[in-house]
Amino acid sequence: MRIRKMIGLFMALMLLAGCGRNTENTGSLNTETEVETQTDETASLSTGPSVTITGFSAETDEAYDAFVIVGENHVTVIDTGLDENGEELVSFMKEQGISKVDNLIITHFDKDHVGGADHVINAFDIGTIYTTYKSKDSDQIDNYLAALSSKGLTETVVTDEISFEMDGVSYDIYPPQSTTYEKDPSNNSSLVIMVSCGDNNMLFAGDAEKLRISELLEMEDIQAEILKVPHHGRYEKNMAALVEKVSPEYAIITSGTIEPEDAEVMQILEAAGVTTYLNREGNITITMSPDNISITQ
């Protein structure tokens, strides 16, 4: 356990700080449980408040991103998968008793991140929508924009770092550092989000490729206990440097059976001692509090 985490744990226990309550997940049956960021002694001292992050898994062979974050009194959605995932994602959220999405974050405008957005927008009350700039056109983007128009909503295009807190959960949204990229402009324009509960953090790296990863490597502190591996586990030459910089204990890869993660990425994570989960194997449920992380699938 890192020194900074030990200090944060001590402070959390002293102040009884928390962030949201545990919300039951009715997704896929749990087949594996990890509780590795606390000792048995501290587990007995852990106080209830927490935030639940679900890496959504639908029946499709393609890779996509869709994450639902539930705090005590707020819901944040990061990406919405493919268009064909949209109704399944909405059904899953309704099963959780969700009626409003306080924050909808679209990391970038590829079809496997924005495809289900119109379904979510049409099905729920929506608060603030955060996006990156658009570097392409597509039917999925047109459907998303039409849904915005029909609900009288506008989006916030993030050009400077944005930070906010809800129910003790901190969100930091990091925009791309360039308004254009010579290679892969859509993926490299990905928003990157840090979700923090006390000293426990999860970093969502969108579909960052080499150029965007280079920007992340220049940031002062992007250490996180959990890394949502960028671009569905595709290998980049600076991927090992990113894993070293973030220094995660756990990794989530959003890959598909016809678009599997690269073996080189799995080797990098294994060499770093990172426990890795693949969302194509079922919903991944992360429960995070200031003194504990548990992951079930």
pTM, full prediction: 0.85
Helix (H, G, I), strand (E, B) or coil at 52: strand
pLDDT average, residue stretch 10-31: 38
pLDDT average, residue stretch 106-125: 98
Q: What is the pLDDT of residue 19?
A: 53
CATH class of the region 3-29+48-291: alpha beta
* H-state helical runs in the chain: 3-15, 40-45, 86-95, 111-114, 117-123, 139-151, 185-188, 210-217, 239-246, 263-271
Q: Decide if pLDDT at 21 tops 90.
A: no
For the chain, give every domain's residue range: 3-29+48-291
Q: Decide if pLDDT at 71 tops 90.
A: yes
Q: What is the pLDDT of residue 59?
A: 85
Q: What is the pLDDT of residue 46?
A: 47
Q: What is the pLDDT of residue 126?
A: 98
Q: Decide if pLDDT at 245 tops 90.
A: yes
Where is average pLDDT lowest: 22-31, 67-76, 154-163, 185-194? Answer: 22-31
pLDDT average, residue stretch 81-109: 97
Q: What is the pLDDT of residue 258?
A: 94
**CA 192/CA 62 separation, integer angstroms:** 22
Q: What is the pLDDT of residue 47?
A: 56
